[in-house]
Amino acid sequence: MYGRDKQERTIEGAWSETAESTPWHLKNLGDYPKPNHECNFVSPITKTAGNIGSNIFVLLQDWTSEDAMDKEKDMPADEVAEMRERGYDPDSTTFKRLINLLRLHFEKSLHDIYASNVFPLIKPKGTGSAIPLKDMRWGAEEFTLPQIAILRPRLTVILGLASIRGVQCALRRPRSHSLASAVAAPFDCLETRIWCQAHPAARISNDQLTKGWKEMADWYRRTK
């Protein structure tokens, strides 16, 4: 009963219910022709990473962009169908690295955790384009903070500097000046430890990437 109630509350921000609050200049998945990736979650990734009882909540920056959605038209139908089923692209560098980091440091898979995106709409322009801070803050206020309050995980992992800055602004906290300073300064809020890590696709060395994850995993095990 508890789990079902928690599930129902976490999907209140589903794509089909975001239309009224979506900023006019942004698109959501429901704006694209069906069949599309629209689902009863804030982010499609939760189709796979939807363990509401997990003590680990992972938040990526965004799920997709306008150019990526346009390119889907030319993709093989079976690949698009697999993405719709999983809620993510299994061939993407981001998810390959995230899956490996979870396995290496927490001995967990995507199925073992809960995951979403700070910015759950369609990123304008290209995959590598920046999302304005005001839009990241909007996503954090509308979706991230309510989800944290409902899920109450012990650890919330925020991936990327833009993501943590959006969350910090939503919490009225000072913004981190660099990724290194953000990773080095986890903080407690909403009954969770919020810890920034580099985005899995960031152009940094594996040593830099794994160092932050190891420190985070060591804390997680110590505080069980």
Span 83-113, pLDDT tens digits: 888 988 888 899 999 999 999 999 999 999 9
The CATH number of whichever domain residue 16 belongs to comes to 3.40.470.10
Q: How much is the pTM?
A: 0.88
| Structure confidence at residue 19 as a pLDDT band (50, 70, 90) | very low
Name the pairing type of β-strands 56-65 and 155-159: parallel
Residue 4 above 60 pLDDT? no
As a whole number of angstroms, the distance between CA 187 and CA 153 comes to 14
Span 134-145, pLDDT tens digits: 999 999 999 999
Domain that holds residue 171: 2-222
Instruction: Using DSSP, state whether 12 is helix, strand or coil.
Output: helix
- Domain tally, the chain: 1
For 201, the token pair is 């696709």
Which of the listed ranges 17-26, 94-103, 115-124 does the model predict with the highest average pLDDT? 94-103
As a whole number of angstroms, the distance between CA 170 and CA 215 comes to 26
As a whole number of angstroms, the distance between CA 138 and CA 118 comes to 9
